Structure 1
């Protein structure tokens, strides 16, 4: 199992996250709007260093595959995402911890990135299930996940505690291996990735 793959299509390049990406990611990560509705909060270089350190620790434990997102169209570092909660015995993972500079929201970058990750999860890793979860209050994220062809499975009440101490209700979504061929054609077939 490759825990440092490089994923790429015409629009996006996903490279394995490294501590050396700290300075390039910092201007993106310091945008407070990214952390308004989130479990974590990055407000300083030290916060981002800890965030990256945690992600790299999860990769070393083989439960996460973190990436930096590079927008090839804009030729710029755009944020970070990861496969997380990876369980090879159960052939499942979650795509999450995604944050993209607000300047590129709605640009198609997120859809290109999710396509690359879903294609890798189902066609290379041969997983049975990819999960997504988001804060019940994060309407933008919920709509984006639904636009990927995912099924909303339910809401886990008081599922997590955010960095501000708020009890978060988490909305769970999934996409299954059997659904991927249809979703690949129906949702992503109209794009030129």
Structure 2
């Protein structure tokens, strides 16, 4: 895994320097998201169950294209760095994830917008993708804080985030309005720079 080697934690006040990159592991490979990926993402991602807890309307290819275009627009503003997730063995697209809510001057970003095709779930792909992103955030970019969030009703996601060692900070009440009109409460978690070595150890155990 070329992006999970141990490296000294960077400190200082220099803003985050975030550029498109490839993050490769044993199971998955994260590559910069592009419009050419719309068809591949639509082929695997138009499954209603994938979007149950996400405040995104996803019905057809046009919705997927809008999803990708929005991510790329946020990237152009320096607010996000989106990826496709590929199976390392086959090269096939199996999902998407991203860095978002980027505050370069505060050395802070969020990991989220992650989804995997049903066939890629429970394969270790999500754990390795999170490991690649967190390692890049803390050891290459020198992030001070990484945030993660999920729907308060999404017990599976909350448990998964807690399992890697993230700290639950609180619940943002009436935080988002979902496509079906439901008003969502959102749970926020974080990992800070000093906690990363312990989180990295936990992730390594999960991958084993």
TM-score of the pair, normalised by structure 1: 0.95
Matches within 5 A, 1:173-184: 173-184=189-200
Deviation at 1:104, TM superposition (A): 1.8
CA distance in 1, matches of 2:72, 2:44: 19
The answer to whether 1:40 aligns with 2:56 is yes
CA distance in 2, matches of 1:3, 1:93: 13
Name 1:191's counterpart in structure 2: 207
Q: Pairwise CA RMSD of aligned residues?
A: 1.3
The alignment of Structure 1 onto Structure 2 pairs a total of residues equal to 192
Q: Which runs of 4+ in 1 moved over 4 A?
A: none
CA distance in 1, matches of 2:202, 2:40: 35
Q: What SS is found at the alignment partner of 2:20?
A: coil
CA distance in 2, matches of 1:149, 1:11: 22
Q: How big is each residue's C-alpha offset from its partner over 1:9-50, in whole Å with a ceiling of 9 and x where there is no partner?
A: 111100000000011111122111111221002111110111
The answer to whether 1:65 aligns with 2:116 is no
In structure 1, runs of 5+ residues without a counterpart are: none
Give the counterpart of 2:158 among 122, 142, 154.
Answer: 142
Give the counterpart of 2:101 among 64, 71, 85.
Answer: 85
Matches within 5 A, 1:1-193: 1-73=17-89, 75-189=91-205, 191=207
CA distance in 1, matches of 2:89, 2:184: 35
Q: How big is each residue's C-alpha offset from its partner over 1:67-98, in whole Å with a ceiling of 9 and x where there is no partner?
A: 00012245421111100000110001000111
Preserved CA contact (<8 Å) 1:3 1:62: no
Of stretches 119-128 and 37-46 in structure 1, the one that deviates more from structure 2 is: 37-46
CA distance in 2, matches of 1:191, 1:134: 22
CA distance in 1, matches of 2:206, 2:97: 24
CA distance in 1, matches of 2:126, 2:191: 17
CA distance in 1, matches of 2:35, 2:53: 25
Preserved CA contact (<8 Å) 2:127 2:206: no
Preserved CA contact (<8 Å) 1:133 1:172: yes
Deviation at 1:3, TM superposition (A): 2.5
Q: What SS is found at the alignment partner of 2:189?
A: strand
Name 2:3's counterpart in structure 1: none
